[in-house]
Amino acid sequence: MIAIRNLKKSFENKTVLRDVNLDIYDGEKLVIIGRSGCGKSVLLKHIVNLMQPDNGYILVDNIAIKRVGQKDLFHLRKQFGFLFQSAALFDSMTVVENIALPLVEHTDMTLKEINEKVAEKLELVGLPGVEYLKPAELSGGMKKRVGLARAIIMDPKYILYDEPTTGLDPIMAANIDKLIIELSEKLNVTSIVVTHDMQSVAKVADRVVMLHNGKIIFSGSIDELYATDNKVVNQFVTANAEGPIQPKPVTY
Ligand SMILES: Nc1ncnc2c1ncn2[C@@H]1O[C@H](COP(=O)(O)OP(=O)(O)O)[C@@H](O)[C@H]1O
Ligand SMILES: [Mg+2]
């Protein structure tokens, strides 16, 4: 479990995270929404220790990440797979080289073992057999999948997705949503998804939280999100609902 307590972060004189308190439970698919520029990416970067807070702290399975020494830092990082907003692949490297990077740097696996593991992850993200292509030869949706294969290469416990469907057409976006749900089930991971795509929210979220003015101002189910009378939340939901919200299927 991840426990975020009184997290504060400012840049120069601009306060981004004012006082963030949030528990993230094992196995859940948590979606974080909030206006552009409100600090969603900054929050994700704190969770994976790419940024450090001015104040407050984060516990990962009861261990305070800012107290983790250099020796244990890799063990901590290894638990997190991060899908960056831009897939952040190295253009000069092939798909297999991009995905294998952490294995080459941090394990003593043989080349054969590495290739097998990469093939397994590519299969999982629905993209088998593309090992020797370069990023330039891939579509936007394929790049996301390769980024995701890299994010899960060390068998993380938590997968963080930063705007995974932004810039994709609706069909590709729906495929990525499906993949997030599939991976959550197959790999038994905790998923933390930042998005402003309400179609995605409705499909993926076990729970939704909204970040606004540097604080979490809402936490609840999709039904609670639609039903809340919080004006800021209502405004966000209405403004970001592209197309009609799909009604839930009726079960008898
Ligand atoms: N490394 C940084 N240095 C200075 N300002 C930053 C940095 N990273 C983010 N910010 C600022 O923090 C605010 C929140 O950014 P971000 O978390 O990227 O927003 P979003 O919710 O769209 O992901 C923005 O005003 C951004 O300019
Ligand atoms: Mg962002």
Residues near ligand 1 (Cβ within 6 A): 11, 16, 34, 36-42
Q: Which ligand is nearest to the CA of 32?
A: 1
pLDDT of 250: 57
Q: Which of 12, 16, 33, 85 to mutate to test the pocket of ligand 1 (most atoms within 8 A of CB)?
A: 16
Q: What is the pLDDT of residues 10-22, one digit of tens each?
A: 999 899 999 999 9
Q: What spacing in Å lies between the alpha carbon of 52 and ligand 1's midpoint?
A: 14
pLDDT of 7: 98
191 near 223, Cβ under 8 Å? no
Q: What spacing in Å lies between the alpha carbon of 229 and ligand 2's midpoint?
A: 26
Neighbours of 175 (CB within 10 A): 17
In ligand 1, the atom with minimum distance to the C-alpha of 40 is 21
Q: What is the pLDDT of residues 42-99, one digit of tens each?
A: 999 999 999 999 999 999 999 888 877 777 888 888 999 999 888 789 999 999 999 9
pLDDT of 47: 95
Q: Which ligand is nearest to the CA of 45?
A: 1
Q: Which two tokens stand for residue 83?
A: 């899908």
Sequence-distant contacts of 138-145: CB under 8 A, at least 24 apart: 138/95, 139/172, 140/167, 140/168, 140/172, 141/168, 141/172, 141/175, 141/176, 143/87, 143/89, 144/83, 144/87, 144/168, 144/172, 144/176, 145/176, 145/179
Q: Which ligand is nearest to the CA of 38?
A: 1
pLDDT of 86: 80
pLDDT of 70: 75
206 near 225, Cβ under 8 Å? no
Cite the beta strand spans of the chain per DSSP E: 2-11, 14-24, 29-33, 55-60, 63-64, 80-83, 158-162, 190-194, 207-212, 215-220
Neighbours of 141 (CB within 10 A): 19
C-alpha–C-alpha distance, residues 50 and 48, integer Å: 6
Q: What is the pLDDT of residues 222-250, one digit of tens each?
A: 999 999 999 999 999 999 876 544 455 55
Average pLDDT over the chain reads 92
C-alpha–C-alpha distance, residues 242 and 231, integer Å: 19
Write down the pTM of the prediction. Answer: 0.92
Of 31-35, 140-144, 196-200, where does the model show the most confidence? 31-35
Residue closest by Cα to atom 19 of ligand 1: 37
Q: What spacing in Å lies between the alpha carbon of 235 and ligand 1's midpoint?
A: 22
C-alpha–C-alpha distance, residues 90 and 106, integer Å: 18
Q: What is the pLDDT of residues 177-220, one digit of tens each?
A: 999 999 999 999 999 999 989 999 999 999 999 999 999 999 99
In ligand 1, the atom with minimum distance to the C-alpha of 36 is 22
Residue closest by Cα to atom 17 of ligand 1: 39
